[in-house]
Amino acid sequence: MAEVLRIERLEAGYGRFHVLFGVDLVVNAGEIVVLLGPNGAGKSTLLNSVVGMADVYSGRVVLMGRDITGKPPHEVTKFGVAYVMQSPNNFGTPNIFGELTVYENLVAASAGIPREEVPRRIEDVYGIFPKLRELRDRKAKFLSGGERQMLAIGMGLMKSPKLLLLDEPTAGLAPKLVSDFFIAIRDIRDKLGISILLVEQNARKALEIGDRAYVLVTGRIKYSGSAKALDEERLAELFLGH
């Protein structure tokens, strides 16, 4: 199976603050890989390391055979990675323009792709999140939290990435909406063929749609393997460091 992302022996952090220790992780083509772990374990830092938003001290990040270790965010985007950051985060608000409509934001996110491709890609996004079609003329500043999150993911999809990094996409959403989001995430893989690395607090639901899972505890991988084999008891033990 082709590897989309390979992280090898990664040591990373922020300046002198060391967060990740010897992390190995792979996302194969067509996989949904779930990354779980307690607060502060370094999950967001792992995603930040892939896109050049954290400091990589050693180890390698390889994207579809290309070494992208330490490359800046705009280059990594060009190589086919979309990153929907955890919100709120330490780097400011996501790149949504409040004064633009949903449709205009999607168009804005298509910068750099051939113009004739744009309508089809917007249709792909509406196919995943039909609600965005209904909201197409609404200014983004009026969107609810869940609608905003749909738009943020939709904007990530506009560039037809090979790999989508999702950091807690369902945080703060109502339970009914959470289920819809998990269906949408699976659709992104199934219908658009995009491989996904998914960070989630909602472990049970994430493991249901995940192919494989990793558990990160204080910067070290404590489990890697089948998502289905991780039951809640095992997960609780791992989180507590047993």
Which residues of the shown chain bind ligand ATP in the complex (CB under 6 A)?
A: 14, 17, 19, 37, 39-45, 86, 90
Provide the 3-class DSSP secondary structure of residue 186: helix
Smaller CB separation from ligand ATP, 36 or 128:
36
- With CB under 5 to 8 Å by kind, the binding choice for 137 among ligand ATP, Mg ion, none is none
Q: Which range of residues in 17-25, 41-49, 52-60, 171-179 is near Mg ion by CB under 5 A?
A: 41-49
The whole-angstrom separation of Cα 189 and Cα 26 is: 16
The set of residues, in sequence order, having a beta carbon less than 8 Å from that of 113 and lying 6+ positions away, is: 121, 158, 159, 160
Q: Bridge-partner residues for 6, per DSSP? A: 26, 62
Least separation in angstroms between residue 137's CB and ligand ATP is: 34
Return the one option of ligand ATP, Mg ion, none that residue 45 interacts with (CB less than 5 to 8 A, by type): ligand ATP
| CB 101 within 8 Å of CB 57 | no
- Evaluate whether 196 touches 186 at the Cβ level (below 8 Å): no
19 touches which of ligand ATP, Mg ion, none (CB within 5 to 8 A by kind)? Answer: ligand ATP
Does 202 engage in binding with Mg ion (CB under 5 A)? Answer: no
Q: Which of residues 58-117 bind Mg ion (CB under 5 A)?
A: 86
Which residues neighbour 114 within 8 Å (Cβ) at sequence distance 6 or greater? none
133 vs 220, which CB is nearer to ligand ATP?
Answer: 220
Q: Which residues bind Mg ion (CB under 5 A)?
A: 43-44, 86
